[in-house]
Chain A
Amino acid sequence: MILAIETSCDDTCAAVITSAGEILANVVSSQGVHDRFGGVVPEIASRHHLELVNAVVDDALVRAGATLDDVELVAVTQGPGLVGALLVGVATAKALAAARRLPLAAVDHLHGHVAANYLAPDPMEPPFLCLIASGGHTLMTHVTEPGGFQVIGQTLDDAAGEAFDKGARLLGLGYPGGPALSRLAQDGDPAAFKFPTAERVGGLDFSFAGLKTALLYAVRDLGESETKRRAADLAASYEHAIVEALVGRVRRAL
Chain B
Amino acid sequence: MDTATAATTVALAGPGREAIEARDDPPPGGRPNHAARLLALAGCGWRDVDRLAVGLGPGGFTGLRIGIATARGLAQAHGIPVVGVSSLAALARGAEAPGRIVVGVIDARRGEVFVAAYADGRDTVLAPGVVAPEALAGHLGGVGPGALAVGDGAVRYRAQLEALGSQVPPDDAPEHRIAAVQVCRLGALGEPADLDGLLPHNLREPDAVPRDR
- Count residues of B near A (Cβ-Cβ below 8 Å): 33
Q: Are B206 and A44 in contact (CB under 8 A)?
A: yes
Contact A91 B77 (CB under 8 A): no
A contact face: mostly helix, strand, loop, or mixed = helix
A86 to chain B, nearest CB (A): 11
Do the beta carbons of B66 and A91 come within 8 Å of each other? yes
Q: Which residues of A contact B213 (CB under 8 A)?
A: 36, 38, 174
Taking CB atoms, residues of chain B closer than 8 Å to A50 are 65, 68-69, 72, 199-200
**Interface contact A87-B62, CB-CB below 8 Å:** yes
Q: A38 and B211: CB pair below 8 A?
A: yes
Minimum C-beta distance from B44 to chain A (A): 13
Q: Does A53 contact B (CB under 8 A)?
A: yes
A192→B18 CA distance, assembly (Å): 78
B76 close to chain A: CB less than 8 A: yes
> What string of 1s and 0s marks CB contacts (under 8 Å) between B182-213 and chain A?
00000000000001100110100011111101
For B49, give the chain A residue with the smallest CB separation: A99
A58-B194 Cα distance, complex, nearest whole Å: 14
How long is the Cα–Cα vector from A54 to B52 in the complex, in angstroms?
16
Chain A binder among B31-39, B84-92, B140-148, B170-178: B31-39
Is there an interface contact between A43 and B62, defined as CB atoms closer than 8 Å? Answer: no
Q: Is the CB of A95 within 8 A of B196?
A: no
**B32 near A88 (CB under 8 angstroms)?**
no
Asked whether B208 lies within 8 Å of A100 as measured between CB atoms, the reply is: no
Interface residues of A in 4-59 (CB under 8 A from B): 36-38, 41, 43-44, 46-47, 50-55, 57-58
Separation of A88 and B73 alpha carbons in the complex (Å): 10
Q: How large is the interface on A (under 10, 10 to 19, 20 to 34, 35 or more residues)?
A: 20 to 34
- The residue of chain A having its C-beta at the shortest distance from the C-beta of B210 within the complex is A36
Q: Which residues of A contact B199 (CB under 8 A)?
A: 47, 50-51
- Contact in complex: B206, A41 (CB < 8 Å): yes
Chain A contacts of B209 at CB under 8 A? 37
A96 near B61: Cβ-Cβ < 8 Å:
no
Give the docked Cα–Cα distance between A97 and B14 (Å): 24
Bound complex: CA A44 to CA B208 (Å): 9
| In the assembled complex, A117 has its CB within 8 A of some CB on chain B | no
> Could you tell me which B residues sit within 8 Å of A by CB distance?
30, 32-33, 35-36, 46, 61-62, 65-74, 76-78, 195-196, 199-200, 202, 206-211, 213
Q: Told that A50-B68, A51-B199, A92-B73 touch, could you supply 7 new A-B pairs with CB distance under 8 A?
A: A36-B213, A50-B200, A68-B77, A84-B61, A95-B71, A96-B74, A96-B77
- 26 chain-A/chain-B pairs, Cβ below 8 angstroms: A36-B213, A41-B208, A43-B206, A46-B61, A47-B202, A50-B69, A50-B72, A51-B199, A53-B69, A54-B195, A58-B76, A68-B76, A68-B77, A87-B62, A88-B69, A92-B69, A94-B30, A94-B32, A94-B70, A95-B76, A96-B73, A96-B74, A98-B35, A99-B32, A99-B73, A99-B78
